[in-house]
Amino acid sequence: MNIAPELIHIAVALAAIAAFIGLNGLVLVWLERKVAGHIQRRPGPYEVGPWGLLQPVADAVKLVGKQLVRPKVADPWLYWSAPLLSFTPVFLLFLTIPFGPRLIGMEFNLGLLLILAFSGLNVLALCLAGWSSANKYSLLGAARAVAQSIAYEIPLLLAVLAIAFQFGTLNLSTIVHHQGPMPWQWNVMTQPLAFIIYFICAVAETNRAPFDLPEAESELTAGFHTEYSGMAFGLFFLAEYAYIIVISCVATVLFLGGWHGPGAPGFWWFLLKVYALIMVIIWLRWTYPRVRFDQLLNINWKWLLPLALVNLLLTLIFVKM
């Protein structure tokens, strides 16, 4: 019976996370459109609700209402499991993120590892989606997704590992506790290179422009999700936003002091930093052209990976001294 409170805690946390993801998904859809609109000298959505606030709701209704179409030659099991597989692991990722001093789904010593492990599942979903669609564009998109995710996971891990080495822990709360309220007490000051590498890799991992090659619409129409319609596409879409939130949350925890901040610490600081990062990611998307695939891999293997290794080595030397 003594295990029950823990379980209830996790159940409540998962429910809260589901609500958080859903709400943030809607906010992000709106934000992305609005920011894109203003970057492009147009108002963005403004008809549905005040400032177009209800636009994502209308979008969601549209997506839910659409017919789910499966190509005749597609493998039904793999085809339908791919969007689910893409979306469901997202819940687990938020479980160990400390949103506030006490606001955490599950205090877990291997929290960072859990996030890294489960975020790797996404590429499996993309691969399945591309493979099972029986569409050549999807297949090419899936091949790109796999190559890209595997490549960029390595420097990402190495960058994160540098932080883990610095504090000797994989517990996210502990890492936040080691940082102070003021910006110069945050890890981004001691590990700027790791932050940059992490951020680039994170954008690439979430398949966002300028690294949106698996779904590069001018080359592969829509890449791995070419054949998906309605809510099946919606789940991919939601998962993409969820992953953006996750990587921003992890970046905030590891590098930007988590819920610390000048004045009163709390989840508002956390959210503020997360949204600042998300804004940067949106901004990148609407500014840059897409890189080419060989260039993408070259950036990784020729620059990010060696730099991440050097960074890790330097961290080790400093920690051991």
For the segment 54-73, give every residue that binds other proteins (CB under 8 A): 73
* 51, 77, 288, 318: residue in contact with other proteins (rule CB under 8 A): 288
The window from 98-106, 264-272, 280-288, 312-320 that contacts other proteins (CB under 8 A) reads 280-288
Task: Give whichever of 36 and 309 is closer to other proteins, judged by the CB atom.
Answer: 36
Told to check if 217 binds other proteins by CB under 8 A, we report yes
Give 73: exposed, middle or buried? Use CB within 10 Å, 0-12, 13-18, 19+. exposed
Told to check if 302 binds other proteins by CB under 8 A, we report no
* 80, 87, 91, 137: residue in contact with other proteins (rule CB under 8 A): 137
* 125, 140, 176, 244: residue in contact with other proteins (rule CB under 8 A): 140
Query: Of 240, 231, 242, 220, whose CA–CA distance to 80 is shortest?
Result: 231
Binding mask 18-57 for other proteins (x = CB under 8 A): ------------------x--xxxx---------------
Pair 116, 155: CB distance under 8 Å: no
Contacts of 67-73 with CB under 8 Å at 24 or more apart are 67/229, 67/230, 68/229, 68/230, 68/231, 68/232, 69/227, 69/229, 69/230, 70/227, 71/133, 71/134, 71/135, 71/227, 73/134
Quote the least distance from Cβ 274 to other proteins, whole Å: 24
Quote the least distance from Cβ 138 to other proteins, whole Å: 12
Binding region for other proteins (CB under 8 A): 36, 39-42, 73-75, 134, 136-137, 140, 209-210, 212, 216-221, 285-295
